[in-house]
C-alpha cells in the first residue's frame, strides 16, 4: 500500500472538527442528459492521487480491536465519500475491494474519500456475521424500525438489547455524523443486488451499471412507514447524503472483487481520478 504520509490515531469524537469541511454502458446520449459526468480537476499528479493521506482509529470493537478509516483524495474538497467494506464478518469480499482502492487506485482532488475495510473486526476475526456479543450490526441502528427486527438472542439477525447498543454501531454513527458524506456505499454479500432507494435514483443506477448488478428492494422486515434499522436506513433518514447497500454475489471472482468493483465504486461515487 502507498506509504501513509500522515497518521493520526484518535477516536473520531476527538477529531470531528478536523474531519468536517464545508459541506455494459447505456447509450451515451441518455447518460449525458440524465447523469452528466463532472469534470475532474487533476489538481495534483498521479502519485499524489494514489497516496493515503490519513489513517484514523475511529474507535474499538467489543473485544478492543481497532476500527480504522483511511483517507485518500483532498481533505479540502467539498465532495465527501465513504466506502464501507464490511459489516458482517462472514462476508470477506468487501474488505478486499476496499484494500484494492487503498493500494492501487487514484482519487482526484475534487473528492475527500474515506475507506473503512471493516466496522466489525471481531466478526471478521471469527468469521461470524455478528459481532462478539452476537448482535447483527445491520439491525442495531436507532431507527423507528428497530422494534420490528429480530428479538431472538443467538439468531443471525439479532437486533441487540436496545438501539445502538453496540460500540461498533456508535463508532460509525459518530464518524458519519462528522464526515457527512454525499455518498456511502456499504458492501455486503451474497444477494447480488443494489438496494433500491428513491432518495438518489441516479446514484443507484450508476452503482448498478458500474458493478453490473440488478436493482432490488432489500427488505429487513420492518413495519409499514418505519425506517429500516440498518446503516443505510439510518443515514438516509437523518442526513442529506445517500447511503446504498451493495450486495455482491456469494462467491464473486477475484477480478471482480479487486478490479471491476473498486474502479466501479469510485466512478459511481464520483471519486475517480
Each residue's pLDDT tens digit in the chain (273 positions)?
444 444 444 444 444 434 443 333 333 333 334 577 788 888 999 999 999 999 999 999 999 999 999 999 999 999 999 999 999 999 999 999 999 999 999 999 999 999 999 999 999 999 999 999 999 999 999 999 999 999 999 999 999 999 999 999 999 999 999 999 999 999 999 999 999 989 999 999 999 999 999 999 987 867 778 999 999 999 999 999 999 999 999 999 999 999 999 999 999 999 999
Three-class DSSP category at 16: helix
Find the Cα–Cα–Cα–Cα dihedral 56, 60, 61, 65, rounded to 10°: 80
Inter-residue contact 141 to 148 (CB < 8 Å): no
How many residues are present in the chain?
Answer: 273
The pLDDT of residue 96: 98
Which residues contact residue 127 at a Cβ distance below 8 angstroms, ignoring those fewer than 6 apart? 89, 90
In this prediction the pTM is: 0.87
The pLDDT of residue 128: 98
Inter-residue contact 128 to 90 (CB < 8 Å): yes
Q: How far is CA 260 from the centre of its chain?
A: 17
**CB neighbour burial string for 180-198, b if at least 16 within 10 angstroms, e if fewer:** bbbbbbbbbbebebbbbbe
Hey, what CATH class is 12-268 in?
Answer: alpha beta
Amino acid at each position: 500500500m502507498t506509504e501513509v504520509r500522515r497518521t493520526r490515531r484518535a477516536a473520531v469524537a476527538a477529531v470531528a472538527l478536523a474531519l468536517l469541511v464545508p459541506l455494459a454502458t447505456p447509450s451515451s446520449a441518455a447518460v449525458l442528459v440524465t447523469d452528466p459526468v463532472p469534470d475532474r480537476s487533476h489538481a495534483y499528479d498521479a502519485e499524489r492521487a494514489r497516496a493515503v493521506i490519513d489513517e484514523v482509529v475511529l474507535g474499538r470493537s467489543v473485544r478492543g480491536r481497532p476500527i480504522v478509516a483511511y483517507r485518500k483524495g483532498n481533505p479540502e474538497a467539498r465532495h465527501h465519500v465513504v466506502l464501507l467494506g464490511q459489516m458482517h464478518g462472514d462476508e470477506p469480499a468487501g474488505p478486499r475491494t476496499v484494500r484494492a482502492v487503498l493500494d492501487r487506485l487514484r482519487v482526484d482532488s475534487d473528492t475527500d474519500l474515506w475507506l473503512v475495510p471493516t466496522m466489525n473486526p471481531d466478526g471478521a476475526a471469527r468469521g461470524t456475521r455478528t459481532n462478539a456479543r452476537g448482535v447483527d450490526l445491520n439491525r442495531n441502528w436507532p431507527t423507528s424500525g428497530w422494534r420490528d427486527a429480530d428479538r431472538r438472542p443467538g439468531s443471525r439477525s439479532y437486533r441487540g438489547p436496545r438501539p445502538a447498543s453496540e460500540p461498533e454501531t456508535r463508532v460509525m454513527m459518530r464518524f458519519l455524523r462528522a464526515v457527512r458524506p454525499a455518498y456511502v456505499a456499504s458492501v455486503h454479500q451474497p444477494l447480488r443486488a443494489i438496494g433500491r432507494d428513491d432518495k438518489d435514483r441516479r446514484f443507484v443506477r450508476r452503482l448498478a451499471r458500474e458493478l453490473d448488478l440488478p436493482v432490488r428492494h432489500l427488505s429487513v422486515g420492518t413495519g409499514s412507514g418505519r425506517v429500516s434499522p440498518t446503516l443505510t436506513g439510518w443515514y438516509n433518514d437523518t442526513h442529506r447524503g445517500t447511503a446504498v447497500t451493495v450486495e455482491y454475489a456469494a462467491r464473486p471472482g477475484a477480478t471482480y472483487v479487486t478490479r471491476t468493483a473498486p474502479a466501479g465504486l469510485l466512478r459511481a461515487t464520483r471519486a475517480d481520478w
